Chain A
Amino acid sequence: MSRTTAGEEWFASRGWKPFSFQREVWNAYLKGESGLIHAATGTGKTFAAWWAPLLEYLAETSNDSEPRLAGKVVSARAQRKASVPLRVLWITPLRALAGDTAGALLQPVTELDLPWSIETRTGDTSATDRSRQSRKLPSALITTPESLSLFLSRSDASSQFTDLRLVVVDEWHELMGTKRGVQTQLALARLRAICPNLRTWGLSATIGNLEEARKSLLGRTQSKGKSRIVRGVEPKNIIVDSLIPPKIERFPWAGHLGTQMVPQVVEAIEEGETSIVFTNTRSQTEIWYQAILEHRPDWAGTIALHHGSLDRKTREWVEEGLRSAQLRCVVATSSLDLGVDFSPVDRVLQIGSPKGIARLTQRAGRSGHRPGVASRVTCVPTHTLELIEVAAARDGLNARSIESRYPVSRPLDVLAQHIVTIAVGEGFVPSELLREVRDTDAYADLPDDEWEWVLGFVSNGGHALKAYPEYSKVVAGESGRWKVEDKAIAYRHRMSIGTIVSDAHIAVQYQRGARIGSVEESFIARLTQGDRFVFGGVPLEFIRVRDMVAWVRRAPNVNGAIPRWMGSRLPLSGELAAALRERLGEAGRGVYHDPEMKAIQPILEVQKKWSHIPGPEDFLIEKVKSREGHHLFFFPFEGRLVHEGLAALFAYRISRIHPITFSMSSNDYGFELLSPDEALLGEAIERGLLDPSGLIDDIPASLNATEMARRQFREIARVAGLVFPGFPRAGKTARQLQASSGLFFDVFQRYDAGNMLLGQAHREVLERQLERTRLGLTLQRIAKAKVVITTPKRTPPLAFPLLVDRTRERVSSENLTDRIRRMQQTLERAAGS
C-alpha cells in the first residue's frame, strides 16, 4: 500500500483527485526533503503541504494497537491534553490569514478524527489562549514571523520544539524581499538547530527568481541537501481591460481623474454578482467607498471596505460577507491580495496603476473561480497617463514577464534584534550562534568583523576598545552563555520584536462602544475637538485623546478629512517599465491600436507637438522656465526609486560645476530638478552628466548631500532597538527614553562614526531605495540613447504631474548660511515688490 493512500482516499471521498504536484510534495516530504511549491492562488498549495505531515502521522500510527480517539466522546479539554505534541509550524505573513488557514487545516483532521489540535498564535491571540499555549502547544500552530520570534525569546524555547517535523512558510514571495523575510530566515535557522531533521516547505506565487526563493527559504545546508521546487497548477487565462474615461480632456494637464469614474465603476459592479474594487492605498479605499455609496445610497449594507488599519472584527465580518456572497462589493487594499479564496467574486476592478505584472495577476486571480470562467481584471485609471500602463501591463502579462523579489542581504539591525531575542530567551554561545546565523542565506557571507561589531553593539556598545560607559544589554554569564539579565530591558525588547516600521498608531474607538481601528498619531494630532473625519467608511466626530485612544462619536454627515496612512508607494516594476517604453515608442511612430492607447492619443499628440514622445531609444530632457524657477525634466521611465537616485546623482554632478541648489521630485516616469537659477545643462552633459562610470563614487557623495540615509535610519533605529514603538504600560520612564531616529543618526555620525548601522543606512539607500543595480543599468541604457532636449514654453503633459508634486528632496553645493540668506533675500524682494 502506498504511503499516500490515506490522502488519495480522503480526496476521493470528496469527489476530488489529488493533483500530481500534490503527490510529488507528499512523497518528497516523506523521503525527508524540503522545498518550495509555487502555483497560482487557490490551486491546492495548502493541501499539498498539509497532507504531507498528516500522511506521515498516519503511517507512524497505522501499526499502533492503540485506537485513536475516533468515535469516543471526549471533552475538548481532554482532547487537547491527549493531542499530538507540536509537529507543524505554519507561518503566515498576515495575521488576518491565520484564522482562515486554521479552518482549512482543521477540515481533514476533523473528518479523519485525528488527535491533532490546531490553533493560531498571533498578535490577536487572547491572553487566555496564550497562557494555555504556554502550558502546551497544539499539534499544529499557525503563527506570524513576529510571534515565532517571540517564542524564541522564551526561556524554554528548545523544549517546546523537540517533536517539530515541518515548518510551512505561506506566501513566501511576500516575505522573501523584506526584513521580515530575514527575520524568518533567522528563526528558521534557530529551529533547524533545535531539531536537525526539520523539513521546510515554502508556498509561493510564481515569481521571476524561484531558485533564489528556494535558497533563501531553506538556508545553506538544507538547500544543498535534498530539496526541490515543485510547480503547481498554471494560472488560468487572464483578461485585462479598462474603463475608458468618456471624455479625455487635454486640460487640465494634471490629468487627475479623481473619482470621476465612479458612475462607470458602479455600472461594472452592477454587471457582476460580487466584486472586489482594489485600490493602492488605504486612503483611496475610504475615498472610493464614500464615492460609490454617494452614487448608490441604496447599496448601504451591501458594500463594505477592507484595509489593514480596520479592526480585526470588522475585517473578519467583511471576509465572511465575501465568502457567503452577502456583499455586493468590497473596496480593499492589498489586505485582500493574499489568502483563501472568495469563490463568489466574479468581478475585480483595479483603481489606479497596478505598478507590476505579478500584482495584477494576483488581483485578477481573485475572480473567476467557477469552472470555465477566465480571471478578469478591469483597470480604472485615476490619471489619464495610467492608461498606457494598463496597455503595457497586458503586454507584460502576455509575455509572462513576472517580476522577481530580491532578498535582503545581511541587515545588521535585524541581526542585532535576533541576537537580543535569543539572549532574552535561552541565551547563546557566540560561536554556536554564529554558525547558525551563517547557515541562513541572508548572512551566509557575514564577515567576522561585522559579527563582532553587532555582538559588541548589543553587549558593550561597540568594539572592545570603545565600550560605552554604563551600557550593558547582553551579558556573558559564567557558563559562557550570553543572556539579557535586566528584566526591564527584556520586557522592552519583547514588546518591540519585529521589523515593520510605522508611525505610532492610535486606536479609534466609540465613546461608549466598539473599536473601529487605528490611525497614525500624526493625523489625530492635527484634530481638535469637534473636527470630523471619515474612517472605516463612517463619518466621525473627534472628542479627545485619552490613554492612547482617540475617542469619537458618529457624525451626522460625511464632510471631513480622510486619514492618510504612511505606506510604501510601490514603484513601477522594471518589467512593466520596459513594456511602457515600448508602448510610448509605438505612439511616437503614430501607432495607437489598443482602446487605452486610442483614448490617450490626444494627450500624447500634445506632448509630441510641444516637445517629443520618447521611445525606447530616446532620453528626453525638457527645459521649462516658470515663476518658480528653472525646471529640468528628465524621462528615463524606470520607476520612482531609480528616478530618486538619478535625480540626486544628476543634481550632484551639476552642482559640482557651479554652486547651485536644486529641489527634486520624482515619479514613475521621470524626475524634475528645480533651481532658482538656470543650471548649466549643456556643459554638464559635455562633462559627463550621463556617464555610467564613476557611479560608485558619485552616488554616496550625492547621498551625503541629501537626507536619504538619515531617513532610512528610521527603520534601522527601530529594528535595532534604539527607538520604541508606543506600547501600553510604557509610562514616564519610557518617555525619558524617547529620541527620534534622526537624533540617533546625528549623534552616531558625530561621536561614533564607525557605527556599522550608519553604513547599513547608506547601503540600504543604495540597494533598496535607489535600486543601485537597476540604476546602473538605466545609466548604461541612457548612455546609448539619443538625448533629445526640448524647450517647451509651457509644461507638457508628461512633465505636469512632476511639476505639481509637493514632496521634494534637496541637493546643494552652497553652504547653509548663504542658502538661508538667499532664500530670505528673494522672498523679501518678492514681498517688497
Chain B
Amino acid sequence: MREGDLPVKIAGEEMVLLPERAMYWSSEKALLIADPHWGKDATFRASGIPVPSGTADEAIARVDCLVRRTGAREVIFLGDLLHAREGRSPVVFASLTQWRSSNMDIRLLLIRGNHDRRAGDPPSDLGVNCEDAPYRRGPFILDHHPRASAEGYVLAGHVHPGVRIYGRGRQSERLPCFFIGENVGILPAFGDFTGLADISSSDNDEIYAIADATVIRIASATRI
C-alpha cells in the first residue's frame, strides 16, 4: 500500500482500491482489472479513423507497475479485454507477449465480457485462462455485467462508471470511480481510450473517485 491507495472491506475480504483504476485482493494476491479494451485504438485505425497508438502500451506498463508494487501473483480481467475483432493487431499482441515473457509466473484469468465474445479470446500463447461469466471465486461472483447474484457478492465492470461531484461556489468535476453497492461492486474502466458513464447511486452505495493519484471516498451529499 502507498499513499493514495484506499483499503476497504468487501464481503469480509480486505480489498485495496488503487488510483491506477484497479483493485487488489490481498488474501488472494490478485489484481482485478475491468474493461481494458485492448486494441480499441487499432480498431479505429483499421476503419480509417486516425487515433494515435500508445494507449495499449501505457495500459500494459500500468499493469506491470501494479504487479510489481502490489506483489500480485494473479491478474483477473473482468471482461472486455479486447475491444473488437478488427483490433486484434499484431502490435498490441506483441507488447502483451513481451510483457508475458518476463512474467511467466503470473496467472492470468479472463472473465469474458460482451466485447470478448465478438473479439475472441486472446492468443493461446499468452496463457490466459478464459472463463464465461459469472465465475465463482471465494466469496465473490466475478462477472462482466453488474447484475446481482444470489450466490454471492458480485464484482464487475462494463459500465465505465464516472461520478460528478458538486461543491460550493457551484463547482463540479467528473471523475472515474469505484462503485461499491450492497450486492454489487463495479470497477472503473482500465483503458485510457474508453470514456466515462455517469452512474446513479443511493445513500447505501459507496462511491470512491479517482482524483489523479488518490482514491477518495465521496460522501453522498457531494454527489447529489
Contacts and interface: CB of A to CB of B under 8 A. Distances in A.
A472 B58 CA distance: 23
Nearest to A757: B50
Contacts of B138: none
B219 A819 contact: no
A129 to B, nearest CB: 30
B12 interface: no
Given A819-B173, A828-B219, 16 more contacts: A457-B50, A461-B50, A472-B48, A486-B48, A492-B47, A676-B169, A808-B170, A810-B172, A816-B211, A817-B211, A817-B212, A817-B216, A823-B166, A826-B168, A827-B166, A827-B222
22 contacts: A471-B51, A629-B168, A661-B171, A663-B169, A721-B48, A736-B83, A736-B84, A737-B44, A739-B40, A740-B195, A746-B192, A748-B52, A750-B54, A750-B58, A751-B54, A751-B55, A808-B172, A810-B172, A820-B173, A820-B216, A823-B222, A827-B219
A744 interface: yes
Given A470-B42, A473-B48, A751-B53, A820 B169 contact: no
Contact of A827 (B53, B167, B193): B167
Nearest to B218: A824
B167 A737 contact: no
Nearest to B115: A736
B165 interface: yes
Contacts of A452: none
A628 B222 contact: no
Contacts of B173: 816, 819-820, 823
A831 B168 CA distance: 13
A695 interface: no
A817 B213 CA distance: 8
B48 A492 contact: yes
A674 B55 contact: no
Interface in A438-488: 457-458, 461-462, 468-473, 484, 486, 488
Q: Choose among A457, A470, A733, A751 the residue with the greatest number of B CB atoms under 10 Å from its CB.
A: A470
A489 B169 CA distance: 47
Interface string B206-224: 0001011110101101100
B91 interface: yes
A807 to B, nearest CB: 10
A484 B48 CA distance: 10
Given A828-B219, A828-B221, A461 B195 contact: no
B46 A470 contact: yes
A468 B51 contact: yes
A471 B156 CA distance: 33
B170 A737 contact: no
B100 interface: no
Given A628-B170, A823-B167, A747 B193 contact: yes
Nearest to B43: A736
Given A470-B91, A750-B192, A751-B55, A823 B165 contact: yes
Q: Choose among A468, A752, A815 the residue with the greatest number of B CB atoms under 10 Å from its CB.
A: A468
Contact of A489 (B48, B91, B218): B48
B201 interface: no
Interface size for chain A: under 10, 10 to 19, 20 to 34, or 35 or more residues?
A: 35 or more
Interface of B: 40-55, 58, 83-84, 86, 89, 91, 165-173, 175, 192-195, 209, 211-214, 216, 218-219, 221-222
Interface in A542-598: none
Given A473-B48, A737-B44, A826 B167 contact: yes
The 9 residue pairs across chains A and B that have the minimum distance between CB atoms: A823-B167, A751-B54, A471-B45, A752-B52, A489-B48, A751-B52, A473-B48, A629-B169, A470-B45
B55 A663 contact: no
A722 to B, nearest CB: 6
A224 interface: no
Given A489-B47, A744-B51, A831-B221, A470 B89 contact: yes
Nearest to A749: B52
A469 B194 CA distance: 19
A808 B45 CA distance: 35
Contact of B222 (A470, A751, A824): A824
A468 B221 contact: no
A155 B216 CA distance: 57
A737 to B, nearest CB: 6
Interface string A648-664: 00000000000001110
Contact of A820 (B86, B193, B211): B211
A160 interface: no
A464 to B, nearest CB: 14
Contacts of A628: 168-170
Contacts of A808: 170, 172
Contacts of A750: 54, 58, 192
A462 B53 CA distance: 11
A747 B175 CA distance: 16
Contacts of B222: 823-824, 827
Contacts of B47: 488-489, 492, 733, 737
Nearest to A460: B50
B169 A743 contact: no
A816 B174 CA distance: 11
B161 to A, nearest CB: 16
A675 B169 contact: yes
A777 B160 CA distance: 45
Interface in A719-743: 721-722, 733, 736-737, 739-740, 742-743
Given A747-B192, A827-B168, A827-B219, A739 B50 contact: no
Contacts of A722: 49-51
Contacts of A706: none
Contacts of B51: 468, 471, 722, 744, 747
B209 A820 contact: yes
Contacts of B216: 817, 820-821, 824
Interface in A297-342: none
A810 B46 CA distance: 37
A510 B172 CA distance: 39
A747 B211 contact: no
A625 to B, nearest CB: 12
Contacts of A472: 48
B219 A816 contact: no
Given A744-B51, A827-B221, A471 B46 contact: yes
Contacts of B86: 736
A743 B52 contact: no
A634 B221 CA distance: 32
B113 to A, nearest CB: 13
Contacts of A629: 168-169
Interface in A788-827: 806, 808, 810, 815-817, 819-824, 826-827
A150 B92 CA distance: 37
A676 B165 CA distance: 16
Interface string A771-793: 00000000000000000000000
A817 B214 contact: yes
Contacts of A752: 52, 54
A755 interface: yes
A458 B50 CA distance: 8
Nearest to A628: B169
A461 B54 CA distance: 13
B214 to A, nearest CB: 5
B109 to A, nearest CB: 25
Contacts of A810: 171-172
Q: Choose among A469, A489, A815 the residue with the greatest number of B CB atoms under 10 Å from its CB.
A: A469
A461 B52 CA distance: 8
A744 B50 CA distance: 10
A828 B223 CA distance: 12
Contacts of A462: 50, 52
Given A739-B193, A747-B193, A831-B221, A823 B171 contact: yes
Contacts of A662: 169
A361 B218 CA distance: 54
Contacts of A820: 165, 167, 173, 175, 209, 211, 216, 218
